[in-house]
Structure 1
Amino acid sequence: MNIFRLGLLFSFIWLTGCASMGIGSRSMDELTQHYTNQQSRFVNIDGLNIHYRDEGQGPVLVLLHGVASSLHTWDGWVEQLQPHYRIIRLDLPGHGLTGPDLARKRYDIGYMVKTLDTFLSRLNIEKAHLAGNSLGGYISWKYAVQHPQRVDKLILVDAAGYPQDMPFIMNLASLPVIGEMSQLMMPRFMVGNNIKAAYGDSDKVSSQLVRRYHDLTLRQGNRKALVQVFRTMKEQSRNPQLGDEVKQVKAPTLLMWGEEDNWVPLDVLAQFRRDLPVASVVTYEGVGHLPMEELPVQSARDAHIFLQTGQFFSMPVSMGN
């Protein structure tokens, strides 16, 4: 389907004007009522009001979600792990209730890493375990390279970090014209199809899950920010030197991957495994891009084993030998 036909399709959907088409924005008051709880906090970082949650007690574990997601993606992990850790998770810039940074036109990795560092400093966190999925994984390992003294152990869950083809929906939304149209509307059925494509078992995608992803996409400014994120990631994904710094990661690392991940495929896992000095690896049969959502109990338990021991079950695989 060419851009002209896609434009006609988007125009037709826009003209139908039904609420599920995602035309207009959801009010911050409404979203806050539905998607915050007693652990929710907001902190202003250089004019950006970051939404985060601070739960549990013990060593600090920081969780970073992926593109077009929110801190809620970690709900299952928090339920399992908060008896053992102080868990801090946040909505990244351009996502969730944090929303866009109006001073930014690009959400490049340098900006994301700097924002994370300022956020942790504001919370007086000197050192923490760090876990990230997808874009959050990319931010995590780059942060571990730039601030090795602040990262104890590192968990990369289907993380970005090497040149690859962009997922279809991200590539589509980053195109001229289509990207601008998607800033005007974001149909719920498209969000649902996108989530199902990211899962290994689409039957696990509930209407409530789709509603949450869709609602938070409709926070004022998020659709424009997401297009900017997609375009930045598309540009970065073409950089042949994208993963060169992975070899500089000093923190013990666990690679967690869904074997049915079509967004960040297993060949990216293989490159991380090749380049990390020492890493442990666990993969999940039948699981897609979001193991912490699809398989929350098992993936959280695996993360806990690694964080407690620095390895996964047996001695970690040495990538340097």
Structure 2
Amino acid sequence: MLQSLFKEKYGIPLDEIKRRHAYEDSKFIRVQGMDVHYRDVGEGPVLLLLHGMFSSLHTWEDWIETLKQDFRVIALDAPNYGLTGAHPNGMFKHIYSDFLNDFTDALDIKECMLAGNSLGGWMSWEFAGRYPEKVKKIILIDSAGFLFVVPWLLLTLALPGATFLGQRVKYPKGAFWAVIKDVYGDRSKVTKEKVDLYYDLSMREGNRMASARVVHFIRNNFGFRTGYMKNIHQPTLVMWGRKDRWIPLRHVKSFMKKIRNSESIIYDDAGHMPMEEIPDISVKDAREFLLR
């Protein structure tokens, strides 16, 4: 009875989602009880690419094509998202920084550079702060880290009962159009293919419930433990879209104040995900910073 109650009512089978959205070079590795989906392309210094909330490694597609010429680029679906799916232990303190430590160990990576967007930015700076010996450089793109007024979608996920309802309710695809348009500076750039991707991955069994748990965890802990930033001495580039409607531009100064060895670039016409919305411009800046 209880198993039936908590089983997701709607969803797309994992094999079908893989058929639609896995790459020819997609790989899977067992870490912390999950089959972690990742891509590992190119040769050179290791660069990890970490996506944001509700997203996946697909958000880095254009960056990968450029950066694989100079780096060994590893993009992954973080726990609770994409083809990796929900973490078996739910959400807990240090979930992502400890996961990244185990993931890099599993691939025998001793040192790497990091680029993270939004929630992936949090993963990046916390990992760098807790495991500084493993991180050489950091790029934070419209990164989470400081308190802000959350978007309407996150507010709904933070409501009581949202974790349970998330697995019992079929999300309307129209809501995905609204959300993705909200994170782009130029809403006309949002395509049906992009919406279909985000929608399908959200319908993987466990992902809706896991997304709600992530939001609840952040809410219950009143944000993020920014004290780890004091341990970051690596060169850090803070990228930000001026038209970000999710995390305000003023957070650039907050990161610059906390991370001493940092610099910033502001993109006037971009929103919350410059690497996806203006990939050619943003990847050029990223490459120049990483190659210094």
TM range (shorter): over 0.9
Residues 173/153 of structure 1: CA separation in 2 closer, same or farther (3 Å cut):
same
Matched, 1:221 2:206: yes
Distance in 1 (alpha carbons) for counterparts of 2:93 and 2:141? 17
Matched, 1:251 2:237: no
Unmatched 5+ stretches in structure 2:
1-7
Higher alpha-carbon Rg: 1
Matched, 1:149 2:133: yes
Select 2:58's aligned residue among 60, 72, 80: 72
Q: For residue 81 of structure 1, what is the aligned residue in structure 2?
A: 67
Q: For residue 43 of structure 2, what is the aligned residue in structure 1?
A: 57
Task: Describe the superposition over 1:71-92 as per-residue Cα deviations: whole angstroms up to 9, x where unpaired.
Answer: 0000010011111111001101
Task: Describe the superposition over 1:157-193 as per-residue Cα deviations: whole angstroms up to 9, x where unpaired.
Answer: 0011112222221111220134433322211111111
Q: What is the one-letter code of the residue matched to 1:231?
A: H
Q: For residue 38 of structure 1, what is the aligned residue in structure 2?
A: 24
Q: For residue 134 of structure 1, what is the aligned residue in structure 2?
A: 118
Select 2:148's aligned residue among 141, 164, 167: 164
Identical residues among aligned pairs (%): 37
In the TM superposition, residue 296 of structure 1 has moved relative to its aligned partner by 0.4
In the TM superposition, residue 277 of structure 1 has moved relative to its aligned partner by 1.1
Range with greater deviation from structure 2 (129-138 or 158-167): 158-167
TM-score by length of 2: 0.93
**Count of equivalent residues:** 284
TM-score by length of 1: 0.85
Task: Describe the superposition over 1:270-297 as per-residue Cα deviations: whole angstroms up to 9, x where unpaired.
Answer: 1001121111110100211000000001
Range with greater deviation from structure 2 (297-306 or 108-117): 108-117
Distance in 2 (alpha carbons) for counterparts of 1:140 and 1:109? 15
Matched, 1:205 2:190: yes
Unmatched 5+ stretches in structure 1:
1-21, 310-321
Range with greater deviation from structure 2 (47-56 or 22-31): 22-31
Contact 2:240 2:267 in 1 (8 A): yes
CA RMSD of aligned residues (A): 1.5
Q: For residue 182 of structure 1, what is the aligned residue in structure 2?
A: 166
Distance in 2 (alpha carbons) for counterparts of 1:215 and 1:31? 7
Select 2:275's aligned residue among 289, 292, 295: 292
Contact 2:11 2:203 in 1 (8 A): yes
Contact 1:156 1:256 in 2 (8 A): yes
Distance in 2 (alpha carbons) for counterparts of 1:141 and 1:201? 28
In the TM superposition, residue 110 of structure 1 has moved relative to its aligned partner by 0.2
Q: What is the one-letter code of the residue matched to 1:24?
A: Y
In the TM superposition, residue 109 of structure 1 has moved relative to its aligned partner by 4.9
Which secondary structure does the structure 1 equivalent of 2:196 belong to? helix
